Amino acid sequence: MMTNFAALLLFLLPLNIFEHSVGMPRGKLRLKRQAPQSSALAALMSFSVKLSDMERQITSYEKTIQRQKAEIDQLTAKLDSKADRVQFKSLQTLLDSKMVALKDETNTKDLLIERYRNKLSQLDSEVTDISNQYINLRGKTTEVLDRFDELGFHCTTQNTGWAPKANAAIGNLDRQWVRCNPNEFLQSFVLTLASNYEEDMVRYKYRCCSLNI
């Protein structure tokens, strides 16, 4: 813009000089105005040069400002990027910590599950073993009960001979010959008096039984 202004001044200056010189007599008057016109032209030329220098300086300043602005933008972007990296690093550290804690908790639960699974397997084995024993015992019990369903008793009542009491103990059954056959068992016995007289004769009344299987 300043270059155009300087060019405009250089264009208007000859026109101004030309206007003032038209219609005026030549001679001494022209000679008298020659020095001021040259001085004004030199001043305008100097001003034009200064304008050009200022324009170059302003252009340089604008480039410097633009370059500094670009650097500021880059620094701002770097700072933002650094802040993002710091925030991301912090977030990543937090997530890694949570992942480690979650992994440890998962491993602990896996160990507990495995422990319970082994315990259940052991209990299942014990239950199976007890169930098999129960089935075996139930079969044997059923067999015994079936045999007892057909079990029959045959009993006979017998008496020993009368014998003096002689103050013998009641347990001395061998003196009275209380005997059952080899295939029989003594089911019951009782000592009886021959009369109400306490010193009278006594004998054993007993019962022998046999099983029919």
Q: What is the pLDDT of residues 110-127, one digit of tens each?
A: 888 888 888 888 888 888
pTM: predicted TM-score of the whole model, two decimal places = 0.31
Residue 136 token pair: 């075996």
In this prediction, residues 37-41 reach a mean pLDDT of: 66
Query: What pLDDT, on a 0 to 100 scale, did the predictor assign at position 100?
Result: 82
Residue 157 has pLDDT above 90, yes or no: yes
Helix ranges restricted to H, the chain: 2-21, 28-149
Query: By mean pLDDT, which of 8-22, 41-55, 81-95, 119-133 is the weakest?
Result: 8-22
Q: Answer whether 212's CB lies under 8 Å from 154's CB.
A: yes
Query: What pLDDT, on a 0 to 100 scale, did the predictor assign at position 27?
Result: 43
| Single-letter code of the amino acid located at 99 | M
End-to-end CA distance of the chain: 140
In this prediction, residues 8-36 reach a mean pLDDT of: 46
Q: How confident is the model at residue 174 (pLDDT cuts 50, 70, 90)?
A: low
Q: How confident is the model at residue 32 (pLDDT cuts 50, 70, 90)?
A: very low
Residue 54 token pair: 């200022």
Query: What pLDDT, on a 0 to 100 scale, did the predictor assign at position 24?
Result: 45
Give the alpha-carbon dihedral of 5, 11, 14, 20, to 10 degrees.
-70
Residue 35 token pair: 């020095």
Cα separation of 95 and 128, whole Å? Answer: 48
Q: Over the Cα atoms of the chain, what is R_g?
A: 71
Cα separation of 175 and 206, whole Å? Answer: 14
Measured in whole angstroms, the distance separating CA 193 from the mean position of its chain's CA atoms is 91
Query: What pLDDT, on a 0 to 100 scale, did the predictor assign at position 63?
Result: 82
Cα separation of 191 and 103, whole Å? Answer: 87
Query: What pLDDT, on a 0 to 100 scale, did the predictor assign at position 195?
Result: 85
Q: Answer whether 138's CB lies under 8 Å from 190's CB.
A: no
Query: What pLDDT, on a 0 to 100 scale, did the predictor assign at position 209?
Result: 93
Query: What pLDDT, on a 0 to 100 scale, did the predictor assign at position 29?
Result: 42
Q: How confident is the model at residue 171 (pLDDT cuts 50, 70, 90)?
A: low
Query: By mean pLDDT, which of 15-29, 68-82, 122-136, 143-157 is the weakest?
Result: 15-29
